[in-house]
Amino acid sequence: MLVDALIYLVAAVICVPIAQWLKLGAVLGYLIAGAIIGPWGLKLVEDVESIMHFSEFGVVLMLFVIGLELEPKRLIEMRRRVFGGGALQIGLTGLALGLACLAMGLDWKAALVAGVALALSSTAIAVATMSERNFLPTPTGQSGFAVLLFQDIAAIPLLAIIPLLGGAVVGATSGEAGWLPAVKAFGAIAAVIVVGLYLTRPLLRMVAATNLREVFTAFSLLLVIGIAQVMNMAGLSMGLGAFLAGVLLAGSEYRRALETDIEPFKGLLLGLFFISVGMAIDFGLLINQPLMVAALLSGFLVFKLATLWLTARIIGVTSKQRWLFAILLSQGGEFGFVVFAAGQVSGVLSKEWAALLTMTVALSMVTTPLLLLLHDWWGARNESRNAARHQADEVDEKEATVIVAGFGRFGQIVGRLLFANGVKAVVLDHDPDQIETLRKFGYKVFYGDATRLDLLHAAGAKEATLMINAIDDVEDSIKLTDIVRENFPNIKMVARARNITHYVALRKRGVELVERETFESALRTGRHALEVLGFDRFRARDMAMIFRRHNLRVTEAAIPLFDDDDRMVSAAKAGRDELEEQFAEDRQRFDSGHSSKGW
């Protein structure tokens, strides 16, 4: 056991960072690691099935953590996405893939099982990829998650009908076959709801009262694994039960503690699950029947991507996000391994077709990160091409005395303040979507790259009094500064600095008025923190102003030293000591002033 654990950890620690460095994503790194150490690689691990069953708890823990972020009210609000979008996706994709299986010679029972099973997606891969890209909180990410949630629900009746399609006897009597499984399922769900609503919080309170972190962690794992086992015994999805338990605890005061304790186990077990999928790829089948496997995989991806894109369009996913939605859910699901194994046992699927379909699902999991890389490359290429084709707008504000370059989250505030005070300004931005949105709100924003000299001439830079450099990209901001300084030396400039390096670069170019974008807001936050800690409001303001003056003076003094690391560090330490002495002297004056007045 220790040797196996060592092998998994070494494989993950080597392969995943390399995959991340190559921008392939962590999931593909785990899959490659599994293929290398598995039966068709170095043969360091042979028992793939047992490790896959164990690592499936990673998916269970992941769904529990997701449930903790969804309060019941929000879940109810998602019901249309879950049951509408999910049922639509299963119906469209299952029908298309089922008909394709019929055309390949499978009988209707095998085609039904294969079509619906292949319509399912991998919750582990899809959610992990969305989380990695911070895509899950977006509307499209939520639509994708809703479809995945319905797939978990749909997998239950699919598994239940396989023995019936194969002619197996489900129970001792027809009565058992009809109502006993349903009673067990509803009983398990009711048990999870009762435990989540009435028993868990008092138990958590008792465990937390021990002040033993390891006991709280143990109870967290016991809770998730226990609920998963109850659902498993009832023939339901373990992940669905864990998700439901998480939703019921979403409003609990222990939500963050549970999430923190579960997170490390979730990450490790999910990684182990992906490794086990990589080990499960049957390269022998790939070598013996390469054309068949290639045809199945390509056909599966084409049909599934097409139906997912159509689903995305029907449920209202924006046109720019539809292919991304389709790619994220394009792979086969881990539940497919279970379905195909059950289909083989019941006689619905032959051994050969079960192996081919299992291989198709495993390989499709590998294609998802690769398709995402292709999507990113194609998107960047199109953006570049569209930007090159898009002609700059004709600027008709010749009487404007101010040019605002960049009208994003920073530039908008500056521009709105100027407009509100009757100041005419030419606003330039190079994001067509942003411009279209702003124009709906009545802002007159012109498309164009502000670093282009011809556009600056058209915007009236030669006659303008002031340039507001609010460009987000540091390189473009500095490039604009150089162009303006060289071609329009009389125009004054107020610039936004992303960080201290950007600040120094602008100051070295002669820009006198430079504002670090987070400096003032951070300073106000510091003032509020002092007030909360008991400092007088006016006293907190004075201390913040002392810090502000000192920081600006020290930063200005450090500009000539910025390229010398040793001198910079020495100056920073001296500045810190000076600030502490200044605060100490100020406290003395403040205390003596209060005591002289009898305070």
User: What is the tens place of the pLDDT at every residue in 304-340?
Assistant: 999 999 999 898 888 878 898 999 999 888 777 777 8
How confident is residue 494, by pLDDT bands cut at 50, 70 and 90? Answer: very high
Q: What is the pLDDT of residue 587?
A: 66
**Contact present, 446 and 393 (Cβ < 8 Å):** yes
Identify the CA nearest to 248 among candidates 310, 201, 307: 201
**Is the Cα torsion angle 62, 68, 73, 74 positive or negative in sign?**
negative
Model confidence at 590, pLDDT cuts 50, 70, 90, reads low
Considering only CA atoms, which of 94, 136, 137 is closest in space to residue 112?
94
The Cα 367–Cα 511 span in angstroms is 50
Res. 138: pLDDT tops 80: no
**What is the pLDDT at residue 216?**
84
**Helix and strand totals (H; E) in the chain:** 28, 6
Q: Which of 164, 101, 99 is nearest to 343 (CA)?
A: 164
Which of 368, 362, 304 is CA-nearest to residue 115? Answer: 304
Which residues, in sequence order, are CB contacts of 285 under 8 Å at separation 6+? Answer: 293, 355, 356, 359
Least trusted range by pLDDT, from 100-109, 345-354, 481-490, 562-571: 562-571
For position 175, what pLDDT does the model report? 44
C-alpha 113/C-alpha 451 separation (Å) is 58
Task: Report the alpha-carbon distance of residue 101 to residue 340 in Å, rounded.
Answer: 14
**Which amino acid, 461?**
A
Angle between the 213-233 and 238-248 helix axes, to the nearest 10 degrees? Answer: 130
CA distance 234 to 156: 11
CA distance 428 to 445: 6
pLDDT at 173: 39
Which range among 317-331, 355-369, 387-401, 503-517 shows the weakest confidence by mean pLDDT?
Answer: 387-401
Contact 340, 118 (CB under 8 A): no
Q: Is the dihedral of CA 26, 28, 31, 32 positive or negative?
A: negative
d(C-alpha 368, C-alpha 361), whole Å:
11
Q: How confident is the model at residue 599, as a pLDDT?
A: 36
Rounded distance between C-alpha atoms, residue 339 and residue 109, angstroms = 13
176-192 pLDDT tens trace? 444 666 677 778 888 88
Residues 6 or more apart in contact with residue 441 via CB below 8 angstroms: none
Least confident of 170-179, 256-265, 382-391, 421-430: 170-179
Task: Say which residue the tokens 């999430």 belong to.
Answer: 259
Q: What's the CA gap between 186 and 483, in Å, rounded?
A: 70
Helix-helix angle 537-558:519-532, to 10 degrees:
150
* Burial tier of 69 (Cβ tally within 10 Å: 0-12, 13-18, 19+): middle
The 3-state DSSP class for residue 344 equals helix
CA 1 – CA 10 distance, rounded (Å): 14
Contacting residues for 162 by C-beta, under 8 A, at least 6 apart: 113, 339, 342, 343, 346, 348
Average pLDDT of the residues of the chain: 80
With left for phi above 0 and alpha for psi between -120 and 50, is residue 132 left, alpha or beta? alpha
Helix axes 255-280, 57-68, angle to 10 degrees: 150
DSSP annotation of 135 = -
CA distances from 554 to 366, 382, 383, 578 (A): 53, 45, 42, 10
Q: Which residue has the higher pLDDT, 133 or 84?
A: 84
Q: Which residue has the higher pLDDT, 477 or 82?
A: 477
Residue 512 above 70 pLDDT?
yes
Residue 16: pLDDT band (50, 70, 90) is confident
For the chain, give the percent of residues with pLDDT over 70: 87
- Compute the average pLDDT of residues 122-147: 80
| Strands of 513-516's sheet in order across | 445-447, 425-429, 402-405, 466-469, 492-497, 513-516
Q: How confident is the model at residue 301 (pLDDT cuts 50, 70, 90)?
A: very high
Of 30-39, 252-261, 384-393, least confident by mean pLDDT is 384-393
Q: Give pLDDT, residue 385.
A: 61
- Indicate the SS3 state at residue 516: strand
Collapsing DSSP to helix, strand or coil, 221 comes out as: helix
Kindly state the tokens that stand for 76.
């109810």
- Comparing CA positions, the residue from 270, 287, 296, 288 lying closest to residue 362 is 296
Q: What angle do CA 549, 555, 558 make, to 5 degrees?
A: 140
Helix (H, G, I), strand (E, B) or coil at 115: helix
Stretch 76-81: mean pLDDT: 77
Average pLDDT of 393-417?
Answer: 75
Helix (H) or strand (E) holding 512: none
Cβ 85 vs Cβ 315: under 8 Å: yes
Of 391, 394, 379, nearest to 432 (Cα)?
Answer: 391
Residue-wise pLDDT tens digits, 142-167: 888 888 888 877 776 776 677 667 65
For residue 302, the model assigns a pLDDT of 94
CA angle (390 as vertex; 389, 393 as ends), nearest 5: 150
The whole-angstrom separation of Cα 599 and Cα 589 is 13
C-alpha distances in Å from residue 382, one per residue of 277, 377, 379, 389: 34, 9, 5, 10
Give residue-wise pLDDT tens across range 429-447. 877 666 767 777 666 677 7
Rg (CA), the chain: 31
pLDDT at 172: 40
Cα(139)–Cα(322) distance, integer angstroms: 12
Is residue 99 scored above 80 in pLDDT? yes
Count the neighbouring beta carbons within 10 Å of the beta carbon of residue 70.
18
> What do you get for the CA distance between the two ends of the chain, in Å?
70
Q: What is the pTM assigned to this prediction?
A: 0.56
